[in-house]
Structure 1
Amino acid sequence: MTTTPPWLPIETERLLLRDFHEADFDPIHAYATDPEVVRYMTWGPNTPEVTREVLDRNLERQKAWPREQLDLAVEVKATGAMIGVVSLHDANTDNSSFGYCYSRDAWGQGYGTEAAKALARIAFTELGHHRIWATCDARNHGSYAIMEKVGMRREGHLLKDTKANDGWRDSYVYALLAEEWRAANEE
């Protein structure tokens, strides 16, 4: 039997980044069916069956540690509302991809940046990562604005590399090295 690491859940000023609960189905399904939320994604809008599969997969994954993929529900502490997900893919390596998705009601309030900064800190301080990286649709200003606020830098612009809901899209690639994160976060 494996144990959950002592740094989980992750608490920030306004948020709790935690394992998923069965009760998260409705909020997940709400954002995963919103055409604006999934506009730049390679998935969605979800059917109830797809949302169930996603939640069940996360509930099963979180029974083990270490986890190949670290997906955490993002909850607003003041209200208890589950507003999205933040993830490290290939979490057991030292070069993880990073991602997130949030309910439209949560946009523009700094929650995405707050959660992303917290997960980046865990990647570098607790998991010993050398680098985190992410991609997003080049039209998705909200997504790459979060990456830039976390301190990630744009490393590339890939042309028509990913098939999204509206056809082939260009992607931006962003990354942050542990040494860059440490230099920006030294007291």
Structure 2
Amino acid sequence: MALYPDYPIRTERLTLRPFTRGDVDAVYAYRRREDVARYLFDVALSREECALAVQQRIGQVALEADGDKIILAAELNQTSSVIGEVSLILRSADARQGEVGWIFDPDYQGQGYATEAATALLDLAFGPGDQHRVSARCDVRNGSSWRLMERLGMRREAHFREHALFKGEWDEEFVYAMLRREWLGRRN
């Protein structure tokens, strides 16, 4: 099922919206940081690399075919500041499988913003997106990320040990997931 959400998506404290060219400096503020890049496939990005990344994200607003992505800026309602981003990837249209992800500025961590944004994204995935199963993954050392997955009610399904070389060392990864019926049961 194709998904063309109505934007923006509003939560109590956040607005999730498509990226614009005006977001480059805000994205650069957190994507240039080594502590953000540590667990990402990217290295810390230059401003030019951020401009390219934002340009790519501008068009990533709908799901039609396998591999399509929705990547949204997470903006604070109170200040209109972009403090992070969330993503929903269509992994299999036939099997109705998706994957969620997030990147947040560490200066805003520990305040529930990522939980709020990820909850809205899972509502989108399991609601109008009609996904059957949604997964998320992270480096095992990224405790903030896997604890968020657990707060969302996702279950750890895999621990891949030394499964790939990542930034010059063996990577260990957790995979979490949940089913539509589990999410809807939590939300009702």
Which of 125, 128, 132 in structure 1 is aligned with 2:134? 132
5 Å-filtered alignment, 1:26-65, equals: 26-62=25-61
Deviations 1:31-79 (A, max 9, x none): 11111111122212112232122111112334x6758210000001011
Aligned residue in 2 for 1:71: 71
1:20 to partner: Cα distance: 0.5
In the other structure, the counterpart of 2:88 is 88
Which consecutive residues of structure 1, in runs of 5 or more, have no partner in the other structure?
Answer: none
Paired AA for residue 180 in structure 1: E
Cα distance 1:51–1:166, how it changes in 2: closer, same or farther (>3 A)? same
Secondary structure of the residue aligned to 1:16 is: strand
Are 1:151 and 1:181, in contact at CA under 8 Å, matched by a contact in 2?
yes
How far did 1:173 drift? 0.5
Pair 1:152 & 2:154 matched:
yes
What is the Cα deviation at residue 166 of structure 1?
Answer: 5.2
Q: Which residue of 1 aligns with 2:144?
A: 142
Superposed displacement of residue 105, structure 1: 1.0
Q: How many residues align?
A: 182
List structure 1 runs of 4+ shifted beyond 6 angstroms. Answer: none
Deviations 1:82-117 (A, max 9, x none): 001100112773101111000111111110111001
Paired position in structure 2 for 1:167: 169
* Mapped contact 2:63–2:70 kept (Cα < 8 A): no
In 2, the alpha carbon distance for the partners of 1:57 and 1:92 equals 21
CA 1:174 to 1:109, structure 2 compared with 1: closer, same or farther past 3 Å? same
Counterpart CA distance in 1 for 2:181 and 2:63 is: 26
Q: Is the Cα contact below 8 Å between 1:66 and 1:92 reproduced in 2?
A: no
Question: How far did 1:29 drift?
Answer: 1.0
Amino acid of the residue matched to residue 85 of structure 1?
A: E
Runs of at least 5 residues in structure 2 that lack an aligned partner in the other structure: none
Q: Which residue of 1 aligns with 2:116?
A: 114
Question: Counterpart amino acid of 2:178?
Answer: L
Letter matched to residue 123 of structure 2 = R
Q: For the aligned residues, what is the CA RMSD?
A: 1.9
Percent identical pairs in the alignment equals 36
Superposed displacement of residue 4, structure 1: 5.3
- The aligned counterpart of 1:181 is 183
